[in-house]
Amino acid sequence: MPNTRVTHFKPSAAHVAIIMDGNGRWATRRGLPRLAGHKRGVERVREVVEACPELGVTHLTLYAFSTENWKRAEDEVAGLMRLFRWYIRKEAAKLVEAGVRLRFIGNRSRLDEGLQKLMASVEDMTRENTRLNMTVAIDYGGRDEIIRATERMIDAADAGELKRSCLDEDTISRFMDTGGLPDPDLVLRTSGEVRISNFLLWQAAYAEYNFLDICWPDFTAETLSHCLENYNSRERRFGAVMG
């Protein structure tokens, strides 16, 4: 990790979710293959993961591959899948040592069997870790997640495990991919795009958003620190009127 100085404080944004956008554009602007940008983006993940506990962040959710990303060029998709495997193999032991619990959300059934096994293996290896809860969204889309959660609720109702009278926000949250995790406090998106791109539609209903002009490979621990400082300066009303 680069020797980056960060501001140390206890933020109220305990759960930060990030749409890691702009890897391909970062590479193209430098005359590099798009996959070079994705590789640089993966390297940035480590810096952010290492910085989170120092900044008081207990939960980090990263949008790595969306349901729409399957539409990209075949060689780019294949390269991204190789990067996912490379990251898991390279970082698994380090995550255990650093006390990071890694989980995946999304429709992993569409991923190849070898990658699914790697994902399950690192989830099991890091299950007891508590220093940072890291969630990576792969083949994830908010609408797709809601559909799959609805299917799970219907199955539970058919099995007599869920009653209509018990259907409330907490129950629905339990059936989402993120069941058991807190909702994000702050959602960040890099690359200058100002949209949420089907990310955590249910969970981020009351989150604060920050859209950054930089591409993800230029995102640093210092950037995260500044975003948290900005979050702390906001007045969160949740529909109430403050005096």
Establish whether 3 is a catalytic residue: no
Please, what sign has the CA dihedral across residues 218, 193, 188, 203? Answer: negative
> Do the beta carbons of residue 214 and residue 40 sit within 8 Å?
no
| pLDDT value, residue 239 | 55
Average pLDDT, the chain: 92
pTM of the predicted structure, to 2 decimals: 0.91
pLDDT score for 165: 87
Q: Which of 69, 107, 129, 198 is catalytic?
A: 69
Contact call for residues 106 and 199 (beta carbons, < 8 A): no
Q: What is the mean pLDDT of residues 182-195?
A: 97
Res 193: pLDDT: 95
Q: Is 93 left (phi over 0), alpha (psi -120 to 50) or beta?
A: alpha
Rounded Cα gap, residues 169 and 172, in angstroms:
5
Q: What is the pLDDT of residues 48-99, one digit of tens each?
A: 999 999 999 999 999 999 999 999 999 999 999 999 999 999 999 999 999 9
- Identify whether the C-beta of residue 83 lies closer than 8 Å to the C-beta of residue 42: yes
> In which band, very low, low, confident or very high, does the pLDDT at 237 lie, cut at 50, 70 and 90?
low
Average pLDDT over residues 8-30: 86
Alpha-carbon distance of 203 to 197, in angstroms, equals 14
Q: Report d(CA 123, CA 156) in Å as an integer.
A: 25
CA gap 21, 185 in Å, rounded: 19
- Tell me the sheet residues that pair with 135: 61, 103
**In the structure encoding, which two tokens stand for residue 77, read together?**
């998709």
Residues 46, 47, 48, 51, Cα dihedral to 10°: 120
Report the pLDDT value the prediction gives residue 74, as an integer from 0 to 100. 94
Residue 5 pLDDT > 60, yes or no? no
Average pLDDT over residues 182-207: 97
What is the rounded CA–CA span in Å between residue 52 and residue 14?
Answer: 9
Percent of the chain with pLDDT over 90: 88
Could you report the per-residue pLDDT of 123-164, keeping only the tens digit for each? 999 999 999 999 999 999 999 999 999 999 999 999 999 998
pLDDT range class, residue 238, cuts 50, 70, 90: low
Report the pLDDT value the prediction gives residue 236, as an integer from 0 to 100.
Answer: 65
Q: Do the beta carbons of residue 195 and residue 5 sit within 8 Å?
A: no
Q: Annotated catalytic, 168?
A: no
Give the closest residue to 40 by CA, choosing from 17, 22, 67, 59. 22
The answer, yes or no, to whether residue 4 has pLDDT greater than 50, is no
Nearest to 62 by CA among 214, 176, 180, 219: 219
For residues 13 and 178, the model is more confident at: 178
What share of residues in the chain are helix, strand, coil (percent, to 5)?
A: 50, 15, 35
**Residue with the larger pLDDT of the pair 235 and 62:** 62
DSSP 184: P
Per-residue confidence band for 13, with pLDDT thresholds at 50, 70 and 90: confident
Binning pLDDT at 50, 70 and 90, where does residue 234 land?
A: confident
